[in-house]
Chains A and B, each alone.
Chain A
Amino acid sequence: MAARVLILSSILTFSCFAEICYGAVSFSSLERTLVVTASHRQGLLIAGEDKITVAWGLNQSFPAGTDSTYRTIKVQLCYAPISQVDRAWRKTEDHLSKDKTCQFKIVEKPYSNTNETLEWTIERDVPTATFFVRAYALDQHNNKVAYGQNTDTKKTTNLFDIQAITGRHASLDIASVCFSAFSVVSLIGFFFAEKRKGGKGQQ
């Protein structure tokens, strides 16, 4: 009986902790302690070809020890407000588990106290849109505890445009046209065959 009570109470306690862990972490509760910059060539960036150089590090104006809980750094490509208009699947929500602003991972690696840079080739599944870069610092339970981004709070500066691949290939185009022509031609062929069979009289 006592054992059962113990098990029950520990389950309850752990689930409470779990709630805190996975808990209602909101973006507005995060501190902007990281400095992030992203540099790239001028003009429209092409997915699959162009590179972005991302640099991140702790903002030295914060006291030492701010990053004591940081274990992992996760750098992501995020949609700028203009690319979120009339697209609810990219919506920014304060509640982090529902937030869909950042959908592409640039890199996720163990946190180190030094400034780091990375040259990232834009992946081919990135859509045509306007973006900025944000880095989240995660603690040992993989909860977000801090962030930094290369744009301002209103997300209006340092944005860059990326042009997606079309996904089309000449071979696909040719195959489509050929199969379509085949359908129509075979229909016409059937009609002719019917006419000829009908002309031969009854069965």
Chain B
Amino acid sequence: MEISSNGAETQPKFALPVDSEHKATEFRLFSAAAPHMRAFHLSWVSFFACFVSTFAAPPLLPIIRDNLNLTATDIGNAGIASVSGAVFARLAMGTACDLFGPRLASASLILLTAPVVFFTSIASSPVSFLLVRFFTGFSLATFVSTQFWMSSMFSAPVVGTANGVAGGWGNLGGGATQLIMPLVFGLIRDIGAVKFTAWRIAFFIPALFQTLSAFAVLLFGQDLPDGNYKRLQKSGDKQKDKFSRVFYHGITNYRGWILALTYGYCFGVELTIDNIIAEYFYDRFNLKLHTAGIIAASFGLANIISRPGGGILSDAMGKRFGMRGRLWTLWTVQTLGGVFCIILGQVNSLSASVAVMIIFSFFVQAACGLTFGVVPFVSRRSLGVISGMTGGGGNVGAVVTQLIFFKGSRYSKETGITLMGIMIICCSLPLFLIYFPQWGGMFCGPSSAKTATEEDYYMSEWSSNEKDKGLHEASLKFADNSRRERGRSVHSQTLPSNATPPADV
């Protein structure tokens, strides 16, 4: 495969229409064509498997807590541990994607955490239980590789949709596991195993699923539309980047930090709810555990359309109103999520609670999808680090929220939920501070300075030395493709005079 020069748009060898970086400009859900849609299916399935493994314990807790003699404190701590591992793992994964490519990075993580899921079968004490949940939670870092991979394969018009569907269908695992694990457990118990053995055998299912999905990623996936990192680096088509530079440009971009905070109050809230909602319904409305589990599952299952819906909405707003539209929609949807969260803590009847919870789930999960409609544009060189920071911020939000509102008995669960809603609204306000010189922010329009172009923004991540070596070319192509983020009211621009057209490689 050769890299074409900057002019050619559509290559006959790709099944989907592509842009100058060979990223697909269309998203066809029912295709599995290599490399774009195949990457999509591999990434969401492997992420789904990791979610199933991470949240496989909660639905079986009534059995596990008796087998391992757990107290409520042990269970709470294990729940916090399960989401805290991924905080730094996501940041590390982001960097690994920038340096080694999403295929190797995600498959390595999945194959290295699969043993922990197998070892859950031999846990024998509260401490070992906490450890297995902690290390299994690392696998949630595959979220970052999923988003990175989608951002590498899909172009601006559909990147929000691709990110949203992949992320949403992966998150589905958290809901599906609440149905799968009790079923598998029941089957094994009915075959003849004793309860305390049946749950152990049941854990082999998510573990095997995880292992097989990693194999699929390694065998059938590729990092970029043009090939894998290693091969492209050997042929000189992709420059190997320096970790320190990639990391530096990621963490010094203030937009990454703001998105990390706000993501903590949509995705972090989603993780918190995954951990507490079954117990909430069980205790407050005296439901059977089975019923409470089904209601809990439905929260996670809403992800099948809510998060993709957020991504699609982001792309639609981006098409019409540009980046400003994406930001306004994100803020609006997330704030409404906070409002419904407050209402959820206040309603007293079961049917109203379930209804409000479902509406709340749509807004909160759509906000997650909308966030990752903005993330691909924050940085091109350090896309992985920004994705990792945002993703890690999500988990930090889950840890902090559970520690403040849902540990011990300071607040009743319903008060905790109301307070969480207020915190969502407050922590969404920093979105007003995000500003792109070339596209504007929520309150301000784009800067009229001559140096406020897409090229200037993305080139600012490269030093003149690096530009001389031609390391910045992918960013230049991306800058060109991202011009759509100005919105429909702006007509096509002529190329600014200070942008150097890249020489043919």
Query: In the complex, what distance in Å separates the CA atom of A8 from the CA atom of B69?
Result: 51
Q: Which of B93-130 contact A (CB under 8 A)?
A: 104, 107-108, 111-112, 114-115, 118-119, 121-122, 124
A165 near B: Cβ within 8 Å?
yes
Instruction: Determine which residue in A88, A164, A167, A184 has the highest number of CB atoms from chain B within 10 A of its CB, and name it.
Output: A167
**Cβ-defined contact, B69 with A128, below 8 A:** yes
**Cβ-defined contact, B200 with A86, below 8 A:** no
Q: How far is the CB of A194 from chain B (nearest CB, A)?
A: 7
Query: In the complex, what distance in Å separates the CA atom of A203 from the CA atom of B197?
Result: 50
Interface of B is mostly: helix
Contact of B231 among A128, A167, A168, A203 (CB under 8 A): A203
- Name the CB-closest residue of B to A187: B111
**Cβ-defined contact, A127 with B200, below 8 A:** no
- Name the CB-closest residue of A to B208: A179
A202 near B: Cβ within 8 Å?
yes
Contact of B118 among A166, A167, A176 (CB under 8 A): A176
**Cβ-defined contact, B65 with A89, below 8 A:** yes
**Cβ-defined contact, A167 with B234, below 8 A:** no
Query: In the complex, what distance in Å separates the CA atom of A177 from the CA atom of B116?
Result: 10
**Cβ-defined contact, A125 with B196, below 8 A:** yes
- Name the CB-closest residue of B to A47: B196
Query: In the complex, what distance in Å separates the CA atom of A156 from the CA atom of B36?
Result: 67
Q: How far is the CB of B424 from chain A (nearest CB, A)?
A: 27
Q: How far is the CB of B426 from chain A (nearest CB, A)?
A: 31
Query: In the complex, what distance in Å separates the CA atom of A88 from the CA atom of B62?
Result: 11
**Cβ-defined contact, A169 with B197, below 8 A:** yes
Contact of B71 among A85, A186, A194 (CB under 8 A): A85
Contact of B1 among A85, A125, A172, A203 (CB under 8 A): A203
- When distances are taken between beta carbons in the complex, the residues of chain B under 8 Å from A112 are none
Query: In the complex, what distance in Å separates the CA atom of A65 from the CA atom of B201?
Result: 53
Q: Which of A188-203 contact B (CB under 8 A)?
A: 190, 194, 198, 201-203
Known contacts A87-B71, A168-B122; A179 and B204 CB within 8 A of each other: yes
- When distances are taken between beta carbons in the complex, the residues of chain A under 8 Å from B62 are 89
A59 near B: Cβ within 8 Å?
no
- When distances are taken between beta carbons in the complex, the residues of chain A under 8 Å from B235 are 202
- Name the CB-closest residue of A to B63: A125
B194 near A: Cβ within 8 Å?
yes
A142 near B: Cβ within 8 Å?
no
Query: In the complex, what distance in Å separates the CA atom of A202 from the CA atom of B236?
Result: 11
Query: In the complex, what distance in Å separates the CA atom of A172 from the CA atom of B201?
Result: 7
- When distances are taken between beta carbons in the complex, the residues of chain A under 8 Å from B107 are 187, 190
**Cβ-defined contact, B231 with A164, below 8 A:** no
Q: Which of B186-241 contact A (CB under 8 A)?
A: 194-197, 199-201, 204, 207-208, 211, 214-215, 218, 227, 230-231, 234-235
**Cβ-defined contact, A183 with B111, below 8 A:** yes
- Name the CB-closest residue of A to B283: A88
Q: Which of A13-65 contact B (CB under 8 A)?
A: none
- When distances are taken between beta carbons in the complex, the residues of chain B under 8 Å from A172 are 121-122, 197, 200-201
B67 near A: Cβ within 8 Å?
yes
What are 12 A-B residue pairs whose CB atoms fall within 8 Å in the complex?
A88-B72, A88-B283, A167-B196, A168-B197, A172-B121, A172-B197, A177-B118, A179-B114, A179-B118, A183-B114, A183-B211, A202-B234
The 9 closest A-B pairs by CB, nearest first: A167-B196, A180-B115, A127-B66, A86-B71, A187-B111, A176-B118, A183-B114, A167-B197, A125-B195
